[in-house]
Structure 1
Amino acid sequence: MNKKIIVCLFFITISFFVKGQENTWSLQKCIDTALENNIEIKIRQLEIKRTQKARNSMLNEILPVVNLFGSQSYNFGSTIDPSTNGRVSSNIQYDNFYLNAQMNLLDFNAIVNSKRNKISIEIAKAEKEIIENEYKLQILESYYQALFTQELLKIQKEQLKNTIFNFDRISKEVNTGSKPKSDLYDIQFNLSQEEKQVIETEQLFTIQKTQLFQLINYSNIIIENVSLEKALASNVETEKEINNPKIISAKLNYERDLKEVSLQRSNNLPVLSAFYQISSFYYKPLNQPDVIVDSFNNQMGNNKNQQVGLQLNIPILNGFKNNRKINVAKIESEKSNLKIEQENQKVAQQLEIEEKNKQNYLALQKKLDEVLAFAHASFITTQAKFVVGKVDTFIYSSVKNNVLTSEYNVLKNDLQLQYINFKMNLIRSNNL
């Protein structure tokens, strides 16, 4: 007796140890890990940063442009001196310097371009959201495929415990001669079949978990120790407002195309700018030591010249090229507007299908619960008859399989409802 107690305690301890080693993953944890590890999403994040850095703010658009120019040149040869009408040498060194500053005081093109570039940043964010949304839907499907198998495995193991109990009982009864040996063979066959099913389901579960963690690009884990968390049905709420990233992206593209029309039109509008320029030069005759010239500093100061003014640039005629560009931009904006309608239709159709599936599963739920209740009642009576030998092993096995199938159908229907609610939330707003 003490030996049996020690063995029981050993197995209980091992059971607690194994449970302690389990690594439970929720759907949200899988998605969060996936978003951190996905390379495509990292690329999209860098694209957002690139677009932000590339955008010129309105302040940058109106800041002055300042340029400093300098040149040094040499003239060699001769020329006619008008005072003597004789030829003289013209070997001279010239140094020219000027500083130029220009600022647009009124530039409609710069204003529209700044607004368009701001929309481009939002488009880059929306495109990242589209990648995330498609990725989340893939993870959701992979997660629930593995979760279906995990819950089926739990049911199969519970049924296997019952079969092992009956196997032990029949073995004792065969040994005492109260049951024929053929009953033992029958229960052994059923036990082997159920053990095979458990092994096959465990193998499938391992493959599906491996596929899931490959999808989320996470390898620092022991797959066999992973268990998946089943969400409570009451915790799954359905979003009502539609903020699908594809629709948002289509709307932003339409706004940007409208800005493109305004940008092309702004090329026909005047540009008012202010400018300031200061210049000076230095010259020195070459190979003429008898010629006296002022120093570099004196010449630069004496030859200094400044200019300040306003400039108005009014486009008059450019061969109607800009009108063609405006018409092309209008057509692109019309295409973008139709794209919004197209994306709205796609999302509405997806949600309509999922809503019908949801209603179908809800309609089945009550009937499946009813079937399960009858299956349990049938199993209880069959189990009692099986114990006293009124039914054979095959009838008992058939009834037990009915219970297994009914339990799995109820569970799968519940998980399908969770899956559809999560999927509809992702389609609507990219959130669980």
Structure 2
Amino acid sequence: MNKKIVFTVVFLAFCALASAQDTSWSLTRCMETALKNNIEIKIGQLEIKRTQKSQNSVLNRMLPTINLYAEQGYNFGSTIDPSTNGRVSSNIQNNNFYLNARTNLIDFSAFANAQKDKINIEQAQAEKEVLENEYKLQLLESYYQALYTQELSKIQKEQLRQASFNLDRVAKEVTIGSKPQSDLYDMQLSFSEEENRNLETEQLCAIKKTELFQLMNVTDVATNDVVLEPYLKERTKDSDNELYNPKIKLAELNYQNSLKLIRLERTSNYPILSAYYGYSTFYYKNIKQENANTDSFFNQLEDNKSQQVGMQLSVPIFNGFRNNKKISASKIVGDKAKLVIEQEKQLLDKQVVLEEQNKRNYSQLQHKLMEKQKFAKSSLATTQAKFTSGKVEAIVYSSVKNQSLSAEYDVLKNNLQLEYIDLKINLLKYNYL
């Protein structure tokens, strides 16, 4: 019997723990879930696979192309007799067969295209990382907005419980005549205001959590039961890691791709050496002369076969300066791509400078806010004692309590802002939390 009780308790404890873990969402869990569900990122992954499948190596580009052709035709009236190569007045059936193979032995465009294909794959990967980085920044902002309203709601609920206790106590004291009726009215008004604030915060928290899970594309979670966890990682200091921003990486790859495009356009001015092989045969039959002495189908194919082997050198001499114009246009594209790199670096530097300035401002303000919170708590404690002994009115007590609550809000918001800015700077500079 005791074993059954123990097993039941363990089972219930395990279920409670599993349920708590299911409703508890950390920033890391939100990021992982969101990245799995985001449609744009899935499209980016498919684009990477498509680009990889489209890649052709130099060896693949140099492989010969082989084509087999078969043709059947009828000539009516005056035509050429394939056996004598003379013109006759009869109907001839022709069957022709061709096998052609050609390969480029020296083709500079094959090397340029193969190198360009490799950069195309890296570009697709960088474009996916840009999408992920922008999505993470949106998710980070949404998470901390929901987290702030959640923590604010906790503080207000605790204050509301304390206000309810004070309201009951004042009501009893008014009943026995130790406090005036006006104190009860003041406390009722203060309690009503706190109830309204608490309700508004709860409603705002529900909206923010719903927005967060909509951004994550998660629809099977009861957001009202979700508890967001503060990010417990220690606040980062100046990192020695190398700067890595996906937008800058993509701009650099675009510039490299433009350089490869210039090289590819230049290959149009280079010679191409190719080798070819051809095999052909045919069958003919005079349709009107049914009893004509015509060899059989396979005998004719054997007798009429011919082969051709050769090499061809193609040297561009003049094409109306079209290639030169393409090269000039490609150089301009390269110059634009190079400027885009500088532009992305400038935008990142400006954004990081602003965020670091905000971080310094919040850090300087943190000590002042904590000091203010300490004074507000001390003031509330002494005012609570004076109010209990009847030395101050309820309206004064409510004012002091609101000041203490405001100081607690400010400390909470400042701490969360510092966490948010640290993580945002990490995403901007290094693409990780």
TM-score after normalising by structure 1 = 0.90
CA distance in 1, matches of 2:79, 2:301: 25
Contact kept, 8 Å, 1:41 with 1:131, in 2: the verdict is: yes
- Residue 149 (structure 1) aligns with: 149
Contact kept, 8 Å, 1:238 with 1:424, in 2: the verdict is: no
CA distance in 1, matches of 2:221, 2:365: 38
Shift of 1:144: 1.1
- Residue 13 (structure 1) aligns with: none
- Residue 295 (structure 1) aligns with: 296
Q: Does 1:52 align with 2:87?
A: no
Taking a change above 3 Å as real, the CA distance of residues 398 and 78 of structure 1, as seen in their structure-2 partners, is closer
Taking a change above 3 Å as real, the CA distance of residues 22 and 62 of structure 1, as seen in their structure-2 partners, is closer
Please state whether the residue corresponding to 1:95 is helix, strand or coil. strand
Q: Does 1:374 align with 2:375?
A: yes
Deviations 1:156-193 (A, max 9, x none): 11111221222222233233332233322222221111
Deviations 1:249-300 (A, max 9, x none): 1000001100000000011111111211111111222222443122111111
Taking a change above 3 Å as real, the CA distance of residues 377 and 286 of structure 1, as seen in their structure-2 partners, is same
Contact kept, 8 Å, 1:238 with 1:421, in 2: the verdict is: no
Specify the code of the residue in structure 1 equivalent to 2:125.
K
CA distance in 2, matches of 1:391, 1:70: 109
Taking a change above 3 Å as real, the CA distance of residues 76 and 380 of structure 1, as seen in their structure-2 partners, is same
Please state whether the residue corresponding to 2:234 is helix, strand or coil. helix
CA distance in 1, matches of 2:153, 2:64: 72
Contact kept, 8 Å, 1:160 with 1:191, in 2: the verdict is: yes
CA distance in 2, matches of 1:80, 1:248: 67
CA distance in 1, matches of 2:161, 2:393: 19
- Residue 178 (structure 2) aligns with: 178
Taking a change above 3 Å as real, the CA distance of residues 89 and 32 of structure 1, as seen in their structure-2 partners, is same
Specify the code of the residue in structure 1 equivalent to 2:217.
N
Contact kept, 8 Å, 2:235 with 2:419, in 1: the verdict is: no
- Residue 194 (structure 1) aligns with: 194
- Residue 345 (structure 2) aligns with: 344
Q: Does 1:218 align with 2:218?
A: yes
Superposed counterparts of 1:33-432, under 5 Å: 33-78=33-78, 89-232=89-232, 234=234, 240-432=241-433
Contact kept, 8 Å, 1:238 with 1:425, in 2: the verdict is: no
Shift of 1:330: 0.5
Corresponding residue pairs, total: 412
Contact kept, 8 Å, 1:123 with 1:249, in 2: the verdict is: yes
CA distance in 1, matches of 2:87, 2:263: 63
CA RMSD of aligned residues (A): 2.2
CA distance in 1, matches of 2:32, 2:238: 20
Please state whether the residue corresponding to 2:392 is helix, strand or coil. coil
- Residue 32 (structure 2) aligns with: 32
CA distance in 1, matches of 2:286, 2:72: 13
Shift of 1:236: 5.1
Please state whether the residue corresponding to 1:267 is helix, strand or coil. helix
Of 185-194 and 40-49, more deviation after overlay is shown by: 40-49
Please state whether the residue corresponding to 1:178 is helix, strand or coil. coil
Taking a change above 3 Å as real, the CA distance of residues 146 and 355 of structure 1, as seen in their structure-2 partners, is same
Identity of matched residues, %: 57
Shift of 1:233: 5.5
CA distance in 2, matches of 1:225, 1:48: 38
Shift of 1:99: 0.6
Contact kept, 8 Å, 1:94 with 1:282, in 2: the verdict is: yes
CA distance in 1, matches of 2:389, 2:87: 141
Please state whether the residue corresponding to 1:282 is helix, strand or coil. strand
CA distance in 1, matches of 2:146, 2:324: 59
Contact kept, 8 Å, 1:146 with 1:208, in 2: the verdict is: yes
Please state whether the residue corresponding to 1:234 is helix, strand or coil. coil
Contact kept, 8 Å, 1:22 with 1:225, in 2: the verdict is: no
Specify the code of the residue in structure 2 equivalent to 1:199.
L
User: Gapped runs of 5+ residues in structure 2?
Assistant: 1-15
Shift of 1:389: 0.9
Shift of 1:72: 1.7
Taking a change above 3 Å as real, the CA distance of residues 56 and 96 of structure 1, as seen in their structure-2 partners, is same
CA distance in 1, matches of 2:290, 2:164: 121
CA distance in 2, matches of 1:345, 1:312: 50
CA distance in 2, matches of 1:177, 1:88: 137
CA distance in 2, matches of 1:25, 1:159: 25
